[in-house]
Amino acid sequence: MTDPALSVPRLVWRGDAAEAGSRLVPRETPVALTYNRSTHAVMLATPADLADFAVGFSLSEGIIRHAEDIMALDIVSVPDGVELRMDLAADRLDALTRRQRRLAGPSGCGLCGLDSLAAALRPVPKVADGQGFTAGMIHTAMQSMPAAQTLNAATHAVHAAGFWTPRRGLVALREDVGRHNALDKLSGALACAGVPASDGLLLLSSRVSVEMVQKAATLGGSVIVAVSAPTALAIQTAERAGITLIGVARQDGFEVFTHPRRIGPQPVRHVA
């Protein structure tokens, strides 16, 4: 497959002097997600971890319930991009046909092309209580991200979504030019590995919009931690889903916007 980054020429100015050089920039590739040879969506994404993307997108869109619902997956390079060709189990294909929609999203826009306003604000599932975490765990988790963000270290232009548990540390991290895509890739990775999202922290290098909360709820994540602030609608959605939403997570602290019961001075193994 195509490398996720490309070296391009640039002219660097420092003060009154210019010097020729090069820079690595992330690729942004059209990725078509097809089910039983019918195209459902075309997203602009970084061409890496595409099998995870196929599974995670299918889960977050409600097309499948489990990774095993995808009977076959082929990643095919085509002249204009990449096709993720999936074959679904018969019951899931029937469900998809009933709710078929088309969307074309710039850099993983999670809401582009929706057929109605109601679809944008679809109900979210209630997440399990999961476990509790200390403030120290939140800091440790966020500090584990930069070393794993290899594509961002090279390009300074992509988002990341990670998953951290007290026992295993940083379990997985995925990167993409689109923050929604990064979370979908992480979702697919966790689903394929059989890792329950309620056991740890979902870490985001981006702001938290409503569709990020919707994806987290579908994944079953009970705690979201992000470096930036959430939107008002994201907060309302997290409240309904029972998700602990943490934003502005920096070295000097963080802010808890919903369901603070999971965060305390001591780890809480069983949350009421």
Q: Smallest Cα–Cα separation from 108: which of 56, 169, 69?
A: 56
* pTM above threshold 0.75: yes
What span, in angstroms and rounded, lies between the C-alpha atoms of 178 and 142? 19
Active site residues: 109
User: From residue 247, how far is each of 139, 185, 235, 254 by CA, in Å?
Assistant: 12, 21, 10, 6
Q: What is the pLDDT of residue 138?
A: 96
Q: Phi, psi at residue 14, to the nearest 5°?
A: -130, 105
Start-to-end Cα distance in the chain = 47
Inform me whether the pLDDT recorded for 229 exceeds 80: yes
pLDDT tens digits, 87-144: 998 888 877 876 664 444 555 565 555 555 566 677 899 999 988 999 999 999 999 9
Please state, rounded to an integer, the average pLDDT across all residues of the chain.
90
> Any bridge partners for residue 164, and if so which?
170, 201
| Interval 12-27 mean pLDDT | 94
pLDDT tens digits, 58-97: 999 889 999 999 999 999 999 999 999 999 988 888 778 7
Which domains does the chain possess? 133-264 (3.40.140.10)
What span, in angstroms and rounded, lies between the C-alpha atoms of 85 and 76? 7
pLDDT band at 269 (very low <50, low <70, confident <90, very high): low
In degrees, to the nearest 5, what angle opens at C-alpha 31 toward C-alphas 28 and 180?
70
